[in-house]
Amino acid sequence: MKVLDFPLIKITIAFIIGVITTYYIHIPILAINYLLIICLSLFVITYVWNLKNNKKTILFGISVYLLSFFLGSFTLISHTESLQKNNYTHCKAAFEKKQSLTLILRENLKSNDYSDRYIGLIKTISGKVYSGKIIVNVQKGSSHNRLIIGNSIKIQTLLQRNKPSKNPNQFDYSSYLADKQIYAQIYCSKKEILVNKNIQKDIWYYCAKLHSRIIFNLEKSKFSKSEMNVALALILGQQQDISQDIIQDYQYSGATHVLSVSGLHVGFIMLFITFILQPIPNTKKGSFFKLACILISLAGFAIISGLSPSVLRSVVMFSFLAIGNHLRRTGNIYHTLLVSILLILLFEPYFLFDVGFQLSYIALFFILWLQPILKNIYKPKNKITVYIWEALTVSFAAQIGTLPLCLYYFHQFPGLFFVTNIIILPILSFIMIAGIVVMIIAIFTSPPLFITMIFEKSIYLLNLTIHAVASLDSFVIRDISFNLFHLWAFSLFIISTIIWIKKPSFSKLLFALTSIIMIQLAFILTKIETEKGEELIVYNERNNTLISERSGRNLVLFTRDTIKENNRNINSYLVGNSIALSRIKKIKNVLYFKNTKILIIDSTKTLPEKVNPDILILTQTSKINLDRLLQNIRPKIVIADGSNSNSIQKYWKNSCLKKNIPFHSTKEKGYYRL
C-alpha cells in the first residue's frame, strides 16, 4: 500500500502547506476566516451530495484539501500571540517608559555571565490586563535567594524588544524567540523585584519542584557537579548548567542529539518498558495492559523532564507508534508518524519551524525507510558484529536523511559521527537505565552511594570518550556553504536514489538522474547569484571597525586593527554567501564604492579638505562637533558603528534629527548594507 493512498496523509500535507504559506505570506485574518467558512460550506454541500448520490466527486476531494489548507492557516494565526488584542506588544507605552508589571515565572533558562534568565507570563501592565511570554533577565549577585517557578513578581521596568542579528548571515535570535511567541525582554536586579508570597501552583511549578528535589538529593549523595549537569541533560533534558566546552565536544563528535532529550531517549524508554513487559502474554487484555504501561511511563517521563517541547513532541510521536503497534498496524507506520505530526501541529503549529522538530521526524522517517535497505547489504552471523552493523546502519540512515538540513542550518559535518554512535551506544544504554533508576530514587530520597558512584563514573567515561573523538579536529568539516538551492536539490537526490534502490525501474532511474541535474543547477544558480553580488557592509564590531567591499566571489576587508583568524562576523558572511576573503586593507579616511563617496572619521579626527561625501561613517568614539561638521558637509546618511559609546551616539542622533539626516547605529539597527 502506497503511503499517499492514505487519505489522512494528503490532509496532513495540505494542512502543513497552509501553515507554511501563512507563515511566509501574511494573509489578513479576516480573509482567512471568510475563506475557511466558504471551504467548510463547500465541504458540507459536497459531502451531503455524495451521501445522496452514493458516489464520490472530484469537487469533494478538492473541498477537503482546501479546508485542510485554510485550517492550517487559521491554526497558525490563532497561535500567533502578537495578533491577540491583549498581547503586551500592543502596549506601546511599556516600550517607551517604565511601567509597573506583574508576571508569573514559568521556566528556567540557561544563565549567562551576567544574569539568571527565566521565561515569564505577563499578567498586568500598569493595572491593565495583558498577556504574553517574556524573558526576564535578573542580574547575578544581586541576591543569594533565587526566584522559583511559580513566583508572582511585580517590577517597575521598561520592555525591550528582541533585537535582530547585528551582522549578516548570523543566527537570528529575534526570529527564533518570535516563533516561541516571545517578543521582548526585561533587565533588572533582584532588589527591584517585589515577590508575592502566593505561588501559582500549576503543573510547571510541581515539575520545577520535582527537579529541585532531585538535584538536592543528588548533591546530598556527593554527585560530582560537572557529571551531574550532564546527567540532568541526558535524563531530564536540563541543559541550563552544562558547560560550553562539553557542549562543543558533543557537537564536534556528532553526538549533540544525546544531550537533547528527544526521540532517542523516549524511544529507548519505550523499548526498555516493552522489554520489561515481555513476560506478559499478548492476549487482548495483556496487550492493552502493556499499552497502558507504556503510555503512563512516557507521560511520567514527560512530567519528570519538565514538559519541554522536544520531549512532548517525542512522547506524542512514540505514543502514536505504541498505539499503532497495539492495533497491529505495523504496515502503516508512516501513517502513524504523519498523524502524530498533524496532532502536534494542531496544538503547536510553530513547532513546524523548530529545527529539533524537523530533525527528529526526518531522522525517524529515514531510520524506518532506509535502515532496512542498509541492513540487508551485509548479514553478519556473530552477535557482536550484528550489534555493530545495526548501530552503524541506524546511524547512517539517520545521518543521510538529516544531512542536507544539518548542512543548511549548521554548515558543519562531524566526520566521525558513526564512530561516536557505535562507541557511545553501549555506554548510553547503561546510563539511561541507571539514570532513570537514580532519578526515581532521588525523587524520594538521596540515592545509595554505590549506585551514584557507578552512574557518575559511567557519565565520566561517556564524556571522556566524546572528548577523545572531538579532539580529532581534522575530522570536523566546518564552514560548508550550503544554501536553499542546495538543500532542495540534495534532498531530492537522496529521496529519488532511495526510491530507485528499493524498487529499480527505468522511470525511477530517470527521476534519480534528473535530481543530479538539479544539483548541478543548484551550483550554477548559486554561482550566478554570487558573481552578480556587489555590496559594501559596515559591521557591528564592538572594539574594532570592519567594512567589507564585495565584488562577485571576492571580498576586500577594511579594518582599523588586526582581526582574529576566524572572526565570527566575517566568517558567517563568507560562508553564507559562498565567497572568499581576497585581502585585508587598512581603513583610509575616504572610500569609494561605485559612484558613492564615503568619509570615515575616527578618534584622530582627520578630515580631508573639500570632501562632500554621500555617506559619513563615525568610528572609535570620534569626539567631533557633529553639528558644526554637518553644516559644512551634507551626507545622505550618517552611520555610527559598534566601536562608539552609547552616550555619544545619542548626541549624534539628535544632531542628525535637527538636520533631517538619517542616522544608522549598528548597535541599535545592526549592520549597514550599501
User: What's the angle, vertex CA 555, arms to CA 248 and CA 577, rounded to 5?
Assistant: 55
285 burial level (CB within 10 Å; 0-12, 13-18, 19+): exposed
User: What's the angle, vertex CA 502, arms to CA 496 and CA 503, rounded to 5?
Assistant: 95
Asked whether the beta carbons of 206 and 200 are under 8 A apart, the reply is: no
Helices and strands (DSSP H and E) totals, the chain? 23, 20
Distances 220 to 30, 85, 445, 460 between C-alpha atoms, Å = 58, 49, 9, 19
Judged by DSSP in three states, 537 sits in: strand
pLDDT digits (tens, 9 = 90+) for 356-412: 888 888 888 888 888 888 888 888 888 778 877 887 888 888 889 888 998 998 888
Task: Report domain 88-200's class.
Answer: mainly beta
Contacts (Cβ under 8 Å, ≥6 apart) of 285: none
The Cα–Cα gap between 461 and 231 comes to 12
pLDDT digits (tens, 9 = 90+) for 204-221: 788 778 878 888 888 888
CA 561 vs. chain centroid, Å, equals: 34
The Cα–Cα gap between 482 and 265 comes to 30
**What DSSP element (H or E) covers 147?**
none
Report whether pLDDT(251) > 50: yes
Report whether pLDDT(91) > 60: yes
Output the pLDDT for position 1: 43
Residue 622 C-alpha cell reads as 570620534
CA 108 vs. chain centroid, Å, equals: 17
Residue extents of the structural domains in the chain = 3-78, 88-200, 210-477, 484-531, 534-673
Residue 46 C-alpha cell reads as 459536497
Residue 236 C-alpha cell reads as 531530564
The Cα–Cα gap between 656 and 541 comes to 22
Q: What φ, ψ does residue 448 adopt, rounded to 5°?
A: -55, 145
Range with the lowest mean pLDDT among 173-182, 436-445, 526-535? 436-445
* Sequence-distant contacts of 490-496: CB under 8 A, at least 24 apart: 490/403, 490/404, 490/407, 490/519, 490/522, 491/404, 491/405, 492/518, 493/518, 493/519, 494/400, 494/401, 494/403, 494/404
Greatest extent of the chain over all pairs of C-alpha atoms, in Å: 94
CA within 13 Å, CB half, 260: 18
pLDDT digits (tens, 9 = 90+) for 378-390: 888 887 788 778 8
The Cα–Cα gap between 354 and 179 comes to 8
Q: What φ, ψ does residue 242 adopt, rounded to 5°?
A: -75, 140
Q: What φ, ψ does residue 342 adopt, rounded to 5°?
A: -60, -45
Asked whether the beta carbons of 559 and 588 are under 8 A apart, the reply is: no
**What DSSP element (H or E) covers 181?**
none
Rounded to the nearest integer, the mean pLDDT of the chain is 83
* Stated pTM of the model: 0.83
pLDDT digits (tens, 9 = 90+) for 325-339: 777 654 567 777 788
Q: Are strands 160-161 and 182-188 parallel, antiparallel or unpaired?
A: antiparallel
pLDDT digits (tens, 9 = 90+) for 20-57: 999 998 888 888 889 889 988 888 888 888 878 777 77
Asked whether the beta carbons of 336 and 329 are under 8 A apart, the reply is: yes
Output the pLDDT for position 198: 82
pLDDT digits (tens, 9 = 90+) for 575-619: 888 888 888 888 888 888 888 888 888 776 666 667 788 888 888
Judged by DSSP in three states, 292 sits in: helix
Q: What is the mean pLDDT of residues 134-153?
A: 80
Report whether pLDDT(5) > 60: no
The residue that leads in pLDDT, 508 or 437, is 508
Q: What is the mean pLDDT of residues 276-296?
A: 83
Q: What is the mean pLDDT of residues 94-115?
A: 86
Output the pLDDT for position 658: 85
Asked whether the beta carbons of 539 and 641 are under 8 A apart, the reply is: yes
The Cα–Cα gap between 123 and 113 comes to 29
Range with the lowest mean pLDDT among 167-171, 205-209, 246-250, 608-612? 608-612
The residue that leads in pLDDT, 351 or 325, is 351
Asked whether the beta carbons of 495 and 511 are under 8 A apart, the reply is: no
Residue 580 C-alpha cell reads as 572568499
As beta bridge partners, residue 551 has: 534, 554
Q: Where are the beta strands (DSSP E) in 395-513?
A: 413-414, 476-477
Report whether pLDDT(237) > 70: no
Output the pLDDT for position 515: 92
Handedness of CA 469, 473, 477, 478 (dihedral sign): positive
